[in-house]
Amino acid sequence: MNLFKILIIAIGGSIGSVARYLTVKGLDEKMNTAFPYGTLTVNLVGSFLIGLFYVLAVRKTGMTENWRLFLGAGFCGGFTTFSAFAWENFSLFQQKMLGTAFLYTSVSLVAGFSALALGAWIARFI
């Protein structure tokens, strides 16, 4: 186990976690609704970024393993929030907001996969 690589992932994860908190807090306060716009946004942006980083790492030789770890496992791992997504859906179900839960889940999955594909597609031109 390489402690330097673990440190790189930890630093990236810390930055991603702070970015997630600020994004979710800012959007949810601004939107002031039961729909979790902040978490949806970070999951979509994170999906886009991981697609972008993955293709850049695979197709381009300029990205080192340390950068891949920092950006992928670190930043994107700290930035995206599947556990928050699951909790928010659970809360919507408890509040009997089944339509909102279904909409949130559907949009998250379809738009998340689409964002990942878009990021991968754009990376091919970089």
* Binding-site positions: 77, 80
Spatial CA neighbour of 73 closest among 1, 15, 13, 14: 13
Residues belonging to the binding site for Na(+) are: 77, 80
Q: Determine the Cα–Cα distance for residues 27 and 108; give it in Å rounded to an integer.
A: 16
The single-letter code of the amino acid at 47 is S
Q: Determine the Cα–Cα distance for residues 21 and 29; give it in Å rounded to an integer.
A: 12
Q: Would you call 25 exposed, middle or buried from its count of C-beta atoms within 10 A (0-12, 13-18, 19+)?
A: exposed
| Helix ranges, 32-125 (H) | 37-59, 65-68, 77-79, 82-94, 98-123
